[in-house]
């Protein structure tokens, strides 16, 4: 074993690259020809020899080096690689001063936002800035107590935004999941269990009529609508095509091939992630004869512009979702039927009353369906079936509008 005197007097012959002076337990002092002295611990991990640097002599004394050796051996006995632990500790030390919630959240957001749609990214950032940063943004991640986060979430609830509180908790959970890999394994995600302390929230379903007689009354009311032809046509097409309100309101004449009875919605307009929008295929919607006729009748009025349903104040912008929603309220059906709810109306009644293939229905709704192998179902399939389905649906709606007796199929 080495002594302090041996360490002080240790030298390296000029004809050698280095000289090693062993202590015990794998500890040794390495001396260079220039006179620098460094402590190393030689150990094996999975049969591979490694060297762990323990500091320079005399800054690190013989006694201190032995303590560092013993501490490293304890880590090794616990199944840890002392060198890997050292790297993690250095990484943590380099980040500690900057790891406030705001810093980590913005770092996480910067990596996620390019994969999101612009609207989702904007909403997420707004919720971070409004609901979390003012209360815990400047706090170090390691110091934030679960009750601090809960207090911030309860402030959101106090203004009646129960759904938003649920979303903000989800954002916080993702920020902690992102940060935890750089911390000690003993650290836990403080968002765990907080959902139980919030007001229970159930996602609201869009109001939708699924009773044939009541739907017939709505269709007759739409036909008698006294508003302008643009909103009336949008109202008539909503149940016929059952596409998302945003897609229908932003329908463009160049997306339509009335001779082929097809509406092709570009991928960038679909409800998808940013990557899916950029790389995905367009969504093709078959048009029943009734829809083609409605669009042909509207063409002389708006066909000179870009949008099929231009706004009243500016033809360079489409009508707002509120236009159709207000019309439904004016007709007395606003609480029973939403614009988006026409999708649920069609999805339910196509199966329950027309007994049609759910897979083709889902394809027309632009829902990604998984097949038996777990792969996303190709939305371009079933086009022939979808043509047949949507024409059957349009004919069925005509019967309801006329007040015809319709046999209701009972679901087993």
| Alpha carbon 325 to chain centroid, angstroms | 28
Question: Among residues 393, 167, 347, 381, which one has the least CA distance to residue 244?
Answer: 347
Question: Does 265 share its domain with 162?
Answer: no
What tokens were used for 364?
């027309």
Query: Does residue 317 lie in a domain region?
Result: yes
The predicted-structure confidence for 168-178, as pLDDT tens digits, reads as follows: 999 999 999 89
| Residue after which a domain boundary falls, among 197, 225, 259 | 197
- Centre a 10 Å sphere on the Cβ of residue 24 and count the other Cβ atoms it contains: 10
Question: Among residues 21, 87, 19, 18, which one has the least CA distance to residue 50?
Answer: 87
Q: Please classify residue 354 by burial: count the beta carbons closer than 10 Å to its beta carbon, then call 0-12 exposed, 13-18 middle and 19+ buried.
A: middle
Question: Does 174 share its domain with 192?
Answer: yes
Rounded-to-integer distance, Cα 69 and Cα 139, Å: 36
Question: Does 314 share its domain with 193?
Answer: no
Q: Crossing angle of helices 383-402/229-241, nearest 10°?
A: 120
User: For position 272, what pLDDT does the model report?
Assistant: 65
Question: Does 243 share its domain with 190?
Answer: no
Query: Does residue 174 lie in a domain region?
Result: yes
Query: Does residue 35 lie in a domain region?
Result: yes
What tokens were used for 66?
């032995």
CA dihedral 237, 242, 246, 249 (to 10 degrees): -10
Question: Does 308 share its domain with 275?
Answer: yes
Question: Does 327 share its domain with 378?
Answer: yes
| Residue after which a domain boundary falls, among 139, 163, 197 | 197
Contact 134, 167 (CB under 8 A): no
Question: Residue 266 belongs to what domain range?
Answer: 212-402
Q: Which residues have a Cβ under 8 Å from the Cβ of 332 and sit 6 or more positions away?
A: 221
Ramachandran angles phi, psi of 40, nearest 5° = -135, 150
Residue 360 pLDDT class (50, 70, 90 cuts): confident
Query: Does residue 204 lie in a domain region?
Result: no
Q: Please classify residue 387 by burial: count the beta carbons closer than 10 Å to its beta carbon, then call 0-12 exposed, 13-18 middle and 19+ buried.
A: middle
DSSP string, 49-99: EEEEEEEEETTS-HHHHHHHHHHHHHHHHTT--HHHHHHHHHHHHHHGGG-
Question: Does 233 share its domain with 360?
Answer: yes
Question: Does 85 share its domain with 112?
Answer: no
Query: Does residue 207 lie in a domain region?
Result: no
CATH number for the domain harbouring residue 381: 1.10.443.10
Q: Please classify residue 56 by burial: count the beta carbons closer than 10 Å to its beta carbon, then call 0-12 exposed, 13-18 middle and 19+ buried.
A: exposed
Task: Please state, in angstroms and as integers, the Cα–Cα distance from residue 203 to each residue in 88, 164, 173, following that order.
Answer: 41, 11, 19
Rounded-to-integer distance, Cα 136 and Cα 142, Å: 12
Rounded-to-integer distance, Cα 363 and Cα 382, Å: 8
Helix (H) or strand (E) holding 21: strand 19-22
Total domains in the chain come to 3
Task: Please state, in angstroms and as integers, the Cα–Cα distance from residue 350 to each residue in 283, 316, 412, following that order.
Answer: 20, 36, 15
Query: Does residue 168 lie in a domain region?
Result: yes
Query: Does residue 307 lie in a domain region?
Result: yes
CATH number for the domain harbouring residue 145: 1.10.150.130
Query: Does residue 62 lie in a domain region?
Result: yes
Residue 98 pLDDT class (50, 70, 90 cuts): low
Question: Does 161 share its domain with 71?
Answer: no
Rounded average pLDDT over 291-297: 96
Rounded-to-integer distance, Cα 285 and Cα 296, Å: 17
Half-sphere exposure (CA, 13 Å, Cβ side) for 52?
27
CATH number for the domain harbouring residue 75: 3.30.160.390
Question: Does 122 share its domain with 162?
Answer: yes
Question: Does 372 share its domain with 246?
Answer: yes
Return the SS3 of 260: coil
Q: Higher confidence at residue 111 or residue 381?
A: 111
Residue 273 pLDDT class (50, 70, 90 cuts): low
pTM here is: 0.55
Going by their DSSP bridges, the two strands 256-257 and 262-265 should be labelled as antiparallel
Least confident segment among 130-134, 214-218, 227-231, 312-316: 312-316
Rounded-to-integer distance, Cα 163 and Cα 156, Å: 9
| Residue after which a domain boundary falls, among 172, 197, 222 | 197
User: For position 185, what pLDDT does the model report?
Assistant: 47
Residue-averaged pLDDT of the chain:
85
Percent of the chain with pLDDT over 70: 86
Question: Does 390 share its domain with 307?
Answer: yes
């Amino acid at each position: 074993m080495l002594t302090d005197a041996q360490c002080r007097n240790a030298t390296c012959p000029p004809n050698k690259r280095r000289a090693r002076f062993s202590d015990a337990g794998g500890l040794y002092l390495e001396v260079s020809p220039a006179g620098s002295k460094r402590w190393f611990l030689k150990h094996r991990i999975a049969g591979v020899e490694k060297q762990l640097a323990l500091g320079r002599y005399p800054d690190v004394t013989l006694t201190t080096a032995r303590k560092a050796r013993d501490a490293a051996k304890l880590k090794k006995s616990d199944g840890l690689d002392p060198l890997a632990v050292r790297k993690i500790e250095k990484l943590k030390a380099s980040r500690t001063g900057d790891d406030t919630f705001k810093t980590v959240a913005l770092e996480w957001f910067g990596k996620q936002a390019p994969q999101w749609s612009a609207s989702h990214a904007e909403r997420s950032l707004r919720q971070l800035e409004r609901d979390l940063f003012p209360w815990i943004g400047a706090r170090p991640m390691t110091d934030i107590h679960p009750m601090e986060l809960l207090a911030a979430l309860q402030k959101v609830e106090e203004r009646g935004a129960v759904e938003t509180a649920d979303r903000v908790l989800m954002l916080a959970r993702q920020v902690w999941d992102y940060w935890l890999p750089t911390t000690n394994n003993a650290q836990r995600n403080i968002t765990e269990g907080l959902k139980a302390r919030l007001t229970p929230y159930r996602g609201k379903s869009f109001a939708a009529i699924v009773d044939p007689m009541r739907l017939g009354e709505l269709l007759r009311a739409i036909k008698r609508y006294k508003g302008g032809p643009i909103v009336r046509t949008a109202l008539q097409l909503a149940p016929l095509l059952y596409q998302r309100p945003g897609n229908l309101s932003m329908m463009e004449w160049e997306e339509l091939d009335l001779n082929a009875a097809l509406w092709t919605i570009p991928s960038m307009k679909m409800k998808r992630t940013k990557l899916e929008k950029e790389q995905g295929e367009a969504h093709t919607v078959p048009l029943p004869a009734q829809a083609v006729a409605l669009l042909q009748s509207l063409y002389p009025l708006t066909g000179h512009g870009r949008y099929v349903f231009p706004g009243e104040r500016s033809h360079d912008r489409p009508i707002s979702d509120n236009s159709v929603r207000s019309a439904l309220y004016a007709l007395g059906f606003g609480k029973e039927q939403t614009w988006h709810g026409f999708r649920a109306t069609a999805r339910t009644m196509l199966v329950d009353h027309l007994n049609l293939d759910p897979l083709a229905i889902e394809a027309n709704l632009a829902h990604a369906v998984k097949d038996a192998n777990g792969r996303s179902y190709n939305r371009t399939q079933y086009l022939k079936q979808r043509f047949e389905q949507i024409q059957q649906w349009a004919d069925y709606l005509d019967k309801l509008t006329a007040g015809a007796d319709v046999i209701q199929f009972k679901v087993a």
